[in-house]
Structures are given as structure tokens and as C-alpha cells.
Amino acid sequence: MVPILDKDFPKSYGELNSRIIHLLDSFSALSALSSVDLRNVDETTMIRNALKGLMENLDIERCSVFLLRNRELVNCTGLDWDDLENWENPEFTKHQDSSTVTASIGEGIMGLAVQYRSLQHCHDCSADSHFKNVSDQIIGSLISVPIFQFGGEVLGVLNISHPTPQFFNEWHERFLVVYGHCLGQLLCNYRLFNHMEQEIEKHAAQLCHSQKIEAVGQLAGGVAHDFNNIITAVSGYAHLVFMKMSEEDPLRHFVRQIIASSERAANLTQSLLTFSRKQVIHSKALNVNKLIKELEELLLRLIGEDIKLKTKVPEQELYVMADSGQFEQIIMNLATNARDAMPAGGELTISARIEEIGDDFINRNGFSKPGKYVHISVSDTGIGMEENTQKKIYEPFFTTKEIGKGTGLGLSIAYGIISQQNGYIDVRSVIGKGSTFNIYFPAIDKKSEESRPEQVASPMAGTETVLIAEDDEDIRNLNASFLKEFGYRVLTAVDGEDALEKFIEHKDKIDIVILDVVMPEKNGKEVYDRILEIWPDAKVLFTSGYTADIICRKGINVQEFDFIEKPHSPVELIKKLRQMLDRN
């Protein structure tokens, strides 16, 4: 029996659980950061709101931000647990922000963070010479991380502290480096937004929307790859453990919870990528008439018996190029909002028609390209929205629903999907009369491909030889262990150059190659091109946790290659491999 767990597999289920908790805490802190409102607040208040989200999701006692002004670090604001507990109390003035506390570049931990442009960690402040003249003895551990703007210039320093020495670990360090960059981007966006608001007041609302979407897009693109790799490893090893457990094992439930938590983290990553328009999509020609009719039964169950559903589609078949799953998600998200806007019942109407968009429409709505579009409208007879709400509805995490009743991602996701497909969405709403969402997808003449017969699921086991080229050690070992468990012979490579050498050495034995798109030495596309020179009929599966724009820049169009997106489960990977191996 080939062992499925290597020496790097976590020592206990507790460690696995700790990893997933750290991961979810990271996502929560970053999510809170991305939802900070940049409008109608001064810079200090905006930063305090950002720090509040950080403290609520990380186990720290104090945090502060010092901004660089004339080569001097000046205290901007700070928070501790007393501030959080009295957040809603306007009379609480224990910590008044003061710009009198300063530090020079190279002076103290903060100054060193700016001088060396890197994180500085004081594990025990009582024993550190930088703190010999500090009277405040409640600081045991301190981390100072520089805050960068887009061009790499240092804006200031983020500090977090705890009264216990040796409290912070490597996870805190790695996360805070990412968080410091994101906070810098948020601060840059805030300053840029205010400047543009003064310069072009009539476009302030559009700028606010664009800035927030762009900020989240950069955030998602920056962390998606690392988080996707972590999720893949944690979920994969948990699957392996689960497979080896008996039905009666008392720990089986806990492993199942780890898998479920990994899936939630993966879904959150995909949601971030969707509304930032960086998700990998799989477009094909879709029959809009057919899809709307097929959704009727599901929509009826969703909206309930007190809401009447009407669908209006022409006899002429309407086709668009889109991902069917994402198209359905748009309709379902809009229908859910319509249902919630009609608590006492009403009427939901979904219609579709061909419409010619000309210069007048473009000038009025800011849409970019004239031509034929499929116009889909979703109308309700609900409570309607005021004008200010209409301006905010596509912003991530914005919601008018009660706490716990909505995520604020539904319309953001719809906006991201439609924009990525070169479409357009707008809303018309009147208080007390209802709302109509208008969606425009470029129309195409090509009819959808004939449905292919569904393939019968093939067994997952096999004896073929698989070459895995993956620079992330955890994922490489995980996939190798899983494939060996099902009988496959496995060769592994740590980068593109190693992959090419292994392929040349074992080309007569290798049946299929798994290539990570982004690797050191040579990327996946470069290795693929060399493999085809040696073996023109080679079967190659690409995989990546990077965003769609980065993958495309590496020369991989996911519509043209066999591709599986991270995070994925080991079962999903082996099913994809088996399909490719069984393909004639």
C-alpha cells in the first residue's frame, strides 16, 4: 500500500483546524477592509474604520497607523479594545487622536520598517534596546509593517501589539504584509477619490463606484493565488484523511467540518473574483429563450406562492455568448432581490428581446459600443429604491437588508459577470411602484452547439503515468499522494525547467502532464510548447489559482485548453484526468 500522507502532512487534526480558522480570519479581515466606506469621512475616520475591522478579526490588543509627512512619521490614529467596546458611545474620549507623537525614519521599530521597507517584529519589547526609554510597559510584542502605495512609495506604518511577549507568529507576519499593501491601496484610493471629487464633481458618483470595484479587484487578484493554493492543500489533505476513516470513527465529523469550511472559503474567493471581474469564465453560445423558460420552475419555488411570475420571450430565438451557470446566477440574484422587495406579494416579470443600441443610448448611459444586444429586463412591483440607494447597489457588501439577511454580494456579482461579458446593467426604480433591472448582452447569430450526450462516469482508478509540474510543495505532494492511492504512477517536477527535463527523460512512459500555469524558470505555456515539439499528441492539463487576467497574460486561454481552476478537490482533479485519458 502506497502511503498517502507525506512527512509534511500536519501532525494533528487540531493543526488542520487551526489553519482553516486562520484562513477564514484572514478573509474576514480583508473583507472588512474592502467594505470600508471612502465617502463622507475624513482620512483619520476612514483609517479608524479599517483598523476596527482588523481588530475584530485578529487577536491583538492594540493597533495604530503612523503616516509619513515630510520624512517624519506622525501618529494618525490608534485603537484598543476599550475603543471597540465603546465604539458607539460618542462621549467616550479615552483615546483622542494626536499628531504630537512622532518618529523619524530609522528611529525605533517603526522607523526601521520605513528605512528597510520591510516588516519589523519585536518579539519581547522589554528586552529590546529600542524600547529602553519607553515608560509604557504593557507592550510585550510589537509588529510594524510599512504601508505602500501603488508605485511602491511608503505611505506610513501599521503597528499591532500585544502585552504578551512572543505572542505573534509567522502567520501574523505573512498576513500583515498582505494587509499592509491592501491598506495602502485603500488609502491611495481614498486620496485619489477625494482629489477627483474636487476636480470633477459631476462625476463623483461614478468615480466612487469605479474606485471601490477596482480596489476589491486588486485585492482579490493579489491574494487569490496564495489563498487558492492554501485552500486546495487543506481541503485535499482533509479529503484524504476522510477517505481513510471508518464510518464509526468519532473524528470523522470534525474532518467533515474542515472540508465544509474549506468549501466556504473557496466560495468566498470565487465571489471576490466574480465581482472584481477576474474570475475564469467558460463562455459558449446560449439560447436565452430556452434558459429563461427552464428557470421558471426554480423561480416559482424561490419567490413563493404570493408572487406571480410572468415570462415574456419572442418567437425569434435569442443567442448570447456567456457562461450558462453565471447567466442563471444573474437571474436568480435579481429574482431574490425582487422577492425581498415584495413582502406582501406582487408580480415579477422577466422578458427578453433584441434591441439596437445607438449613439443616443451610449451618450445617455455611458455604454461603450453600438450594435445589436439581447435586452433582458427583470421587473417587480415592490417597494422601489430611492436615488441614493440606486447609486450604491453594485458596490460590494452594500445591502439594505437586515443583518444576517443578505451578504451585499448579489448585485456586485451580477455586475461583475455582465461587465466581464462586455454587457451592461442599469436600474430604473420608483418608490412604492417597483424596480426594473435592464441587462444588455451582445447578441450573436451563431446558434448554440448541439447538446452532446452526457458521458458515462468512468472509474477513477488507473495505471497510467502522470507528470505533475507544480511549484507549491503542499499541492504537489497532495496530488501525487492521491493519484498513487488510485493506482497511478506519478512523476513530480518543482518548476518548468525540471518538468521539461523529466518529460524528456520519461517521454515513452508518460501518459498525461499536469502543468501549473505560473512556475519559476519556465511557465506552463513555455513547457507545453516544448512538449508538443517532442510529442504533438501529448495530453496536458493546465491548473492555476491565479486570476483570469494573469492566466491570459501567460498565454493560456482557458476556453482553448484543458484547464482546472484552483481551489479544487482531489476528486475533481482525478475526474478531469480520467476524462482526458479516456478521450479518443
- Indicate if the pLDDT at residue 145 is higher than 90: yes
Confidence of residue 231 (pLDDT cuts 50, 70, 90): confident
pLDDT in the model for residue 403: 43
- Indicate if the pLDDT at residue 40 is higher than 70: yes
Give the pLDDT mean for 352-368.
78
Cβ-count burial 93-118 (b if 16+ within 10 Å, e if not): eebeeeeeeebeeeebbbbbbbeeee
pLDDT in the model for residue 489: 93
User: Dihedrals φ, ψ of 300, to 5°?
Assistant: -60, -40
- Indicate if the pLDDT at residue 442 is higher than 50: yes
Report how far residue 476's alpha carbon sits from residue 481's, in angstroms, rounded to the nearest whole number. Answer: 9
**Least confident residue range of 24-28, 149-153, 321-325, 403-407:** 403-407
**Least confident residue range of 224-233, 306-315, 371-380, 485-494:** 224-233
**Least confident residue range of 96-110, 169-183, 268-282:** 268-282
Side chain identity at residue 116, one-letter code = Y
- Indicate if the pLDDT at residue 295 is higher than 50: yes
- Indicate if the pLDDT at residue 338 is higher than 80: yes
pLDDT in tens, 210-221: 555 566 556 555
SS3 of 75-88? EEEEEEHHHHHCCC
Give the pLDDT mean for 513-518.
90
Residues 6+ apart with CB under 8 A from 513: 466, 467, 469, 499, 503, 531, 538, 539, 540, 541
Confidence of residue 131 (pLDDT cuts 50, 70, 90): low
Cβ-count burial 42-59 (b if 16+ within 10 Å, e if not): ebeebbbbbbbbbbebbe
| Bigger pLDDT: 237 vs 578 | 578
**Least confident residue range of 2-16, 169-183, 385-399:** 2-16
Report how far residue 168's alpha carbon sits from residue 19's, in angstroms, rounded to the nearest whole number. Answer: 15
pLDDT in the model for residue 219: 58
Domains, the chain, with CATH or none: 38-199 (3.30.450.40), 284-442 (3.30.565.10), 465-582 (3.40.50.2300)
Report how far residue 366's alpha carbon sits from residue 389's, in angstroms, rounded to the nearest whole number. Answer: 20
pLDDT in the model for residue 357: 85
- Indicate if the pLDDT at residue 147 is higher than 60: yes
| Bigger pLDDT: 148 vs 405 | 148
Confidence of residue 456 (pLDDT cuts 50, 70, 90): very low
Percent of the chain with pLDDT over 90: 18
Give the pLDDT mean for 13-41.
77
Looking at every residue in the chain, the average pLDDT score rounds to 79
Percent of the chain with pLDDT over 70: 78
pLDDT in the model for residue 502: 92
Return the top range by mean pLDDT from 74-88, 438-452, 490-504. 490-504
